[in-house]
Structure 1
Amino acid sequence: MRARSQPSRVTVTLPGPTIGIVGGGQLGRMIGEAVARRGVEVVVLDPTPDCPAAPVVSEQIVGGFDDETAIRELAERADVLTYEIELADPDVLESVAAEHDLPVHPDPDTLRTIQDKLVQKSALADAGIPVPPFEAVSSAADLEAALDRFGEVMLKAREGGYDGRGNRPVTDAAEVEAALEELGTNAMAEAFVPFERELSVIGVVGADGVRTYPVTETIHREEILRESVTPARTDDAVADRAEAVARDVLEFLDGRGVYGIELFETPDGEVLVNEIAPRPHNSGHWTIEGARTSQFENHARAVLGWPLGPTDCRGTTVTANLLGDVSETGPARLRGVETILGSPDVSLHWYGKNDVRPLRKMGHLTVAGADSSADREPDADRGGAADRLNRARELRDAVTFAPVDTPGTE
């Protein structure tokens, strides 16, 4: 990776420039919401007509994430390009940006590294950043060898996986054939980490330096993020180590913007990098209410070269994702929302997706408030974290996408 340029000062005038975003999902929507009040225009490119971001941004270009003609049209309307989905094509971004003398952040080379999990892990390991042991898998023999070496492994498709898709635990040789049939032979086997908890650090690289948000505890089930707690319920030594590892990652990667860095905390207090997202991340949604500057505003500030906003936490903040609790895809209609809207210190976010499908992320809620305690102790109820987590779960479980005639609903 290239040496990072020195921090610089810029002159900002309003109305601001236009950001072109490849991807118009919920992340593009929340970027648009964050920057509208700052006088910044946003144009998104997405293959889905009337995508989730469309109602809150200036314009949507309908086209594929790798559609060179559509990306060229996006570049003609923008002062800087960025992306909110790893399916963006780095080669097309690079060539179009050069053609229009337009910056792209994060750098397309960073996107190339991130898109392939084996390339990503190899690059991190070569840079001395701690990661779980891993092996390339291109055959049943490779996977069996990884099982012999590591014991239980997590088999990961090298490209395209997200929200638990593309990952499969494999515990013995009897599962090898089925695992490879599901994920294919372009895969990576990673030693299973018996973690104490999963953590995340949202980092942001700007023209004026690097900042990190407080360490977040992430709670997954079926490989999908269900809840987050910030600050993480871990001790100071682990939190400091997580921040240090995250800063090493940020120093290693090229390009300005927000990065979501997923981590494992092992029982002996070590911190290992799981995966990196070169964009705002689900585990950073708490920053909208819980931080002085949200990850979405700071992503825009970073790619524009504007000064970054402060990243400190206002108080213990818990989020809970609203996932599709249906068995089949159908029109999105969330019932029982009044239970959330009627709760003080609770914020509801709707992603604007027209259809709900099983376990699809449709929105989230945030429980936030000021704390009286500044102490962080392992498993302690820091700032009422346990109460806020329980409350978030209760509110989340009180709403449903299931039809009213589904057994068990009212």
Structure 2
Amino acid sequence: MSITLPGPTLGVVGGGQLGRMMGEAVARLGVEVVVLDPTPDCPASPVVSDQIVADFDDADAVHELASRVDALTFEIELADPDVLTAASEEHDVPVQPDPDTLRTIQDKLVQKEALQDAGIPVPEFVPVATAEGLERVVEEFGGVMLKAREGGYDGRGNVPVESPDDAADALDSIGGDAMAEEFLDFEREIAVMGLKGADGETRTYPVTETIHREEILRESVVPARSDDPVIAEAEAVADDVLSLLDGRGVYGIELFETREEEVLVNEIAPRPHNSGHWTIEGAATSQFENHVRAVLGWPLGPTDLVAPAVTANALGDVDETQPATLRGVESVIAAPDAALHWYGKEDVRPLRKMGHLTVTGEDGESEADGEADRDALLSRARELRDGLTFRDA
């Protein structure tokens, strides 16, 4: 294909931190970005060409976006696949990944059933619609993770249920159709950022270890501190997932590593993902640049690791919503091994993702030294992150 600069214009449904980092990544390639987001002056707005202020599923607004761009994508699962398809067809603008893939992934039960039908390993799961049904499942499984079928992300819509007595309240808190998934005695959570390009080309980034607390990602460590057979299995599972899904772009594939060294799929995101933020400093091409390359049908960039890396999320450490002012930044700015990313959100609320920092090491250590280096990088990243606060001085 022939590529000329200035480049094409990309329309993105969603203008949060992912849209912001997408815009930052491709500005140097001459790609213009227009986002659609309901929040005026959304996080992406300072770094993209324009913003359409509208709900993610506003048909008129999505059609307006499609009329102004050369290709469409999305950075949030709240986009409407039917609206995207209609806008794509009317304005003869490709949308990637395929809206049918978005439709499958949006419903966690449908997603799990598709994976299971394809022979891809997943935890045991069942749909639940009543408190009585959930009580029976909790008794059978000895506790479950209750998940909203639609609308949940970043830990929202997930409720652990350990006793049948908690079933009714848990189901009420979900507020809709739900899926119950067995509790796993896992060794760690890991993830693979997968990539589908033109002509069916697929690539994967190195397997990443993801550390969660209260269902929210706190840190990512790459390479993952898993044994080689687990790494190989994770890569094989990720390849199978990519074969199942239609459409170009980046896919965040979240996985469980069990005590028995099995690898099971937790969830999939059809977009760049928090688990892959380390790629900005730690990989030859970031997930954000590669997502845009893939959506546009451009050649994919290399996904090789350039240095071990640990990313730590800066979350809201406040008790209630307030204007966002991050303090303690000077310690991260002064650190030669750290990079800070601010998401530009005006308000901070408890546990809201407001930014992240990435600490990188040196490549080329032995395997043992490499794991020790990752342990040290994790401690270093936590120390720098824990020096940040949104609390008043």
TM-score, scaled relative to structure 1: 0.94
- Residues of 1 paired with 2:132 and 2:274: CA distance? 36
- Report the CA distance between 1:164 and its aligned residue: 1.3
Alpha carbons of structure 1 residues 384 and 280: separation in structure 2 relative to 1, 3 Å: same
Question: Aligned pair 1:70/2:61, yes or no?
Answer: yes
Conserved 8 A contact 1:153-1:169: yes
Residue identity opposite 2:373 in structure 1: G
Equivalence for 1:363: 355
Residue identity opposite 2:332 in structure 1: I
After superposition, what is the alpha-carbon deviation per residue over 1:225-275, rounded to whole angstroms, capped at 9, x for unaligned?
000000000111100100110110011001000000000000011000000
Equivalence for 1:324: 316
- Report the CA distance between 1:374 and its aligned residue: 4.5
Question: Aligned pair 1:403/2:392, yes or no?
Answer: yes
Conserved 8 A contact 2:144-2:162: yes
Equivalence for 1:16: 7
- Report the CA distance between 1:149 and its aligned residue: 2.5
Equivalence for 1:392: 381
Instruction: Please give the secondary structure, in 1, of the residue aligned with 2:29.
Output: coil
Residue identity opposite 1:157 in structure 2: A
- Structure 1 gap ranges (5+): 1-9, 405-410
Residue identity opposite 2:384 in structure 1: L
Residue identity opposite 2:381 in structure 1: A
Q: How many residues align?
A: 392
After superposition, what is the alpha-carbon deviation per residue over 1:265-286, rounded to whole angstroms, capped at 9, x for unaligned?
0001100000000000000000
Conserved 8 A contact 2:361-2:377: no
Conserved 8 A contact 1:229-1:318: yes
Equivalence for 1:337: 329
Equivalence for 2:260: 268
Q: How does 1:62-211 map to 2 (within 5 A)?
A: 62-208=53-199, 209-211=201-203
Instruction: Please give the secondary structure, in 2, of the residue aligned with 1:81.
Output: strand
- Residues of 1 paired with 2:139 and 2:252: CA distance? 32
Conserved 8 A contact 1:45-1:74: yes
Conserved 8 A contact 1:374-1:383: no
Q: How does 1:241-280 map to 2 (within 5 A)?
A: 241-280=233-272
Conserved 8 A contact 1:316-1:383: no
Instruction: Please give the secondary structure, in 2, of the residue aligned with 1:37.
Output: helix
% same residue = 70
- Residues of 2 paired with 1:374 and 1:84: CA distance? 37
TM-score, scaled relative to structure 2: 0.98
Equivalence for 2:364: 372
Considering only aligned residues, what root-mean-square deviation do their CA atoms show, in Å?
1.0
Equivalence for 1:7: none
- Report the CA distance between 1:391 and its aligned residue: 0.6
- Residues of 2 paired with 1:212 and 1:122: CA distance? 24
Equivalence for 1:292: 284
- Residues of 1 paired with 2:313 and 2:158: CA distance? 20
Conserved 8 A contact 1:20-1:74: yes
Which contiguous aligned blocks of 4+ residues in structure 1 show a shift greater than 3 angstroms? none
- Structure 2 gap ranges (5+): none
After superposition, what is the alpha-carbon deviation per residue over 1:281-338, rounded to whole angstroms, capped at 9, x for unaligned?
0000000000000000000000000000000101210000000000010111001100
Equivalence for 2:298: 306
Conserved 8 A contact 1:315-1:383: no
Segment drifting more, 147-156 vs 62-71: 147-156
Alpha carbons of structure 1 residues 216 and 355: separation in structure 2 relative to 1, 3 Å: same
